[in-house]
């Protein structure tokens, strides 16, 4: 090799290994990219709530974020989103994180010639995975302000917001310490005017809740009695069970007593109201065939449990068709067992004069509205989250979910996101500048 070519080769290597220009090394790439993503999402923004079966926009309801929620908007939105994902989406996000870390490690090792170290190969991926798990723990356990549904001032005064599927610590799978009063506080913060306590195999939680209900429904969040049992292999909630209706279940409180249900349903206008929950087989629980017959009279359009969310999102069309064909009211159930602070859905129901009713009268009135109006009785509302309705959507859950989250932000949330994006960088920049001046 000639001396000239040797010098040329050395110059090329020096140029390749030369540090980036000062301005580029100090340019805040991550904050800039996040800012661009937040601003781009605002161009194609979508409402944060919708009707789960028709995808329409509810005109009488608003998703309200309290001040505490907005102050920590990036964390609030992120924790809400994690709470509302399905199990396949959770798995996909973890796998995506691990693949991204492995790709980054391989790129550093091959493209830059960096040596593989314990720090880059083990400690960094482990720390990232631990941070993600900590985020999941925060979503499930951390007390925090909740986004709530509120009925707009233009709506009827008789319109109320309901949850048809709420548990307490009295259920065998309820969170320890999630007492009926904590469940009431959770329901109030979520925007529910009333919620049915539907524990498994017990009325204890519903009875304790009833003892502390306000005298009139308009004076606070009312908790109504119910129970979750099995009928024909499917899980159903019996509204008013244990108080309005007794003896509709087997002695163990696990299953529906079919004979007792048939007899009770013969009383026209007082037929027990059963709600099919998910996961389950659509149509697996027999639907009532008019007055004087036994069967489910409502079906969940939203179920807040991860497995329930996966099915209702994937089979929303089938649920809508079944509800219309068999004249079932479509309702929502948070299916909350004390974990998380992001309700997946709300049910809007017109109950004339409900604010002046006693809790028992309200329970009877709600059931009457469902019996009399069937498919037209209610309007379900749900939070907008990227669905996992196909294999490729599951595989791309991480970017799809993140993008959908950004498109549902309010103007106030976007402002908070930008503040949280640039504030840490500005603080770090000032600290580095001060240290540089001190060193000089």
Which H/E stretch holds residue 349? strand 345-350
Q: Dihedrals φ, ψ of 292, to 5°?
A: 75, 10
Of 385, 377, 375, 379, the C-alpha closest to 313 is: 385
Return all residues near 65 (Cβ < 8 A) that are at least 6 apart: 73, 76, 145, 147, 410, 412, 413
Of 290, 247, 267, 270, the C-alpha closest to 365 is: 270
**Residue 160 · residue 193 · CB < 8 Å:** yes
Beta bridge partners of 275: 237, 298
d(CA 275, CA 431): 59
Three-class secondary structure of residue 244 per DSSP: coil
Can you give the pLDDT at residue 11? 46
Q: Which two tokens stand for residue 77?
A: 């939105």
> Which alpha helices (H) appear in 203-278, and where do they start and end?
204-211, 258-265
* Residue with token string 């009695």: 225
Q: Dihedrals φ, ψ of 423, to 5°?
A: -60, -50
Domain locations in the chain?
A: 39-142+392-439, 154-383
**Residue 217 · residue 357 · CB < 8 Å:** yes
Return all residues near 148 (Cβ < 8 A) that are at least 6 apart: 63, 64, 66, 189, 190, 191
Give 20's DSSP letter.
P
Helix axes 306-314, 87-111, angle to 10 degrees: 100
* Residue with token string 């244990």: 242
CB atoms within 10 A of CB 40: 12
d(CA 297, CA 122): 55
Per CATH, the number for 154-383 is 3.20.20.140
Which long-range contacts (C-beta less than 8 Å, at least 24 apart) are formed by 212-218?
A: 212/180, 212/181, 212/184, 213/359, 214/359, 215/358, 216/355, 216/356, 216/357, 216/358, 217/193, 217/354, 217/355, 217/356, 217/357, 217/358, 217/359, 217/362, 218/354, 218/355, 218/356
Query: Rounded to an integer, what is the distance from CA 101 to the centroid of its chain?
Result: 28
* Residue with token string 């009827």: 156
Any idea of the CA torsion for 69, 75, 76, 82, to the nearest 10 degrees? -170
Of 282, 189, 184, 294, the C-alpha closest to 248 is: 294
Return all residues near 25 (Cβ < 8 A) that are at least 6 apart: 19
**Residue 69 · residue 147 · CB < 8 Å:** yes
For the chain, what's the residue count?
440
Q: Dihedrals φ, ψ of 293, to 5°?
A: -120, 155
Q: Which two tokens stand for residue 7?
A: 């010098």
Query: Rounded to an integer, what is the distance from CA 48 to the centroid of its chain?
Result: 12
Which H/E stretch holds residue 325? helix 316-326
Can you give the pLDDT at residue 428? 87
**Residue 177 · residue 143 · CB < 8 Å:** no
Of 262, 272, 244, 343, the C-alpha closest to 302 is: 343
- Per-residue model confidence as pLDDT tens for the chain (440 residues): 444 444 444 444 444 444 544 444 567 888 999 999 999 999 999 999 999 999 999 988 999 999 999 999 999 999 999 999 999 999 999 999 888 888 877 777 776 665 556 556 677 778 888 898 999 999 999 999 999 999 987 778 899 999 999 999 999 999 999 999 999 999 999 999 999 999 999 999 999 999 999 999 999 999 999 999 999 999 999 999 998 888 999 999 999 999 999 999 999 999 999 999 999 999 999 999 999 999 999 999 999 999 999 999 999 999 999 999 999 999 999 999 999 999 999 999 999 999 999 999 999 999 999 999 999 999 999 999 998 888 999 999 999 999 999 999 999 999 999 999 999 998 888 888 888 888 87
Of 93, 108, 141, 163, the C-alpha closest to 381 is: 163
Can you give the pLDDT at residue 154? 74
* Residue with token string 């196909």: 390
Can you give the pLDDT at residue 396? 94
* Residue with token string 């990219």: 33
């Amino acid at each position: 090799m000639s001396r000239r070519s040797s010098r040329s080769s050395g110059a090329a290597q020096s140029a390749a290994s030369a540090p980036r220009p000062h301005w580029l090394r100090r340019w805040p790439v991550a904050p800039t990219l996040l800012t661009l993503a937040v601003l781009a999402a605002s161009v194609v923004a979508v409402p944060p709530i919708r009707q789960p079966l028709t995808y329409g926009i509810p005109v009488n309801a608003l998703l309200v974020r309290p001040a505490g929620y907005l102050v920590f908007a990036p964390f609030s939105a992120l924790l809400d989103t994690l709470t509302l994902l399905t199990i396949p989406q959770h798995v996909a996000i973890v796998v995506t994180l691990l693949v991204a870390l492995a790709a980054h490690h391989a790129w550093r090792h091959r493209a830059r010639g960096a040596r593989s170290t314990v720090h880059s190969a083990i400690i960094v991926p482990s720390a990232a995975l631990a941070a993600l798990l900590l985020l999941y723990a925060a979503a499930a356990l951390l007390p925090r302000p909740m986004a709530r549904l509120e009925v707009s001032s233009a709506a009827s005064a008789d319109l109320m917001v309901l949850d048809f599927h709420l548990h307490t610590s009295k259920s065998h799978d309820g969170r320890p310490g999630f007492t009926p009063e904590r469940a009431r506080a959770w329901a109030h913060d979520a925007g529910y005017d009333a919620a049915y306590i539907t524990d498994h195999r017990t009325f204890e939680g519903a009875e304790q809740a009833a003892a502390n209900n306000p005298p009139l429904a308009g004076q606070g969040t009312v908790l109504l009695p119910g129970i979750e049992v099995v009928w024909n292999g499917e899980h159903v909630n019996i509204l008013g069970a244990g108080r309005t209706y007794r003896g509709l279940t087997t002695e163990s409180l696990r299953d529906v007593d079919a004979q007792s249900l048939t007899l009770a349903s013969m009383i026209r206008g007082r037929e027990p109201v059963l709600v099919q929950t998910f996961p389950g087989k659509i149509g697996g629980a027999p639907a009532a065939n008019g007055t004087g017959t036994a069967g489910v009279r409502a079906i969940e359009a939203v179920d807040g449990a991860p497995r329930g969310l996966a099915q209702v999102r994937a089979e929303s069309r089938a649920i809508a068709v079944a509800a219309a064909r068999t004249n079932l009211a479509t309702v929502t159930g948070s299916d909350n067992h004390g974990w998380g602070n992001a309700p997946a859905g709300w049910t809007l129901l017109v109950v004339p004069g409900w604010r002046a009713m006693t809790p028992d009268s309200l329970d009877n009135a709600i059931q009457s509205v469902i019996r009399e109006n069937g498919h037209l009785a209610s309007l379900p509302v749900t939070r907008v989250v990227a669905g996992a309705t196909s294999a490729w959507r599951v595989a791309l859950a991480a970017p799809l979910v993140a993008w959908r989250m950004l498109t549902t932000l309010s103007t106030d949330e976007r402002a908070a996101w930008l503040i949280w994006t640039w504030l840490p960088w500005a603080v770090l920049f000032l600290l580095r500048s001060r240290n540089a001046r001190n060193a000089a």
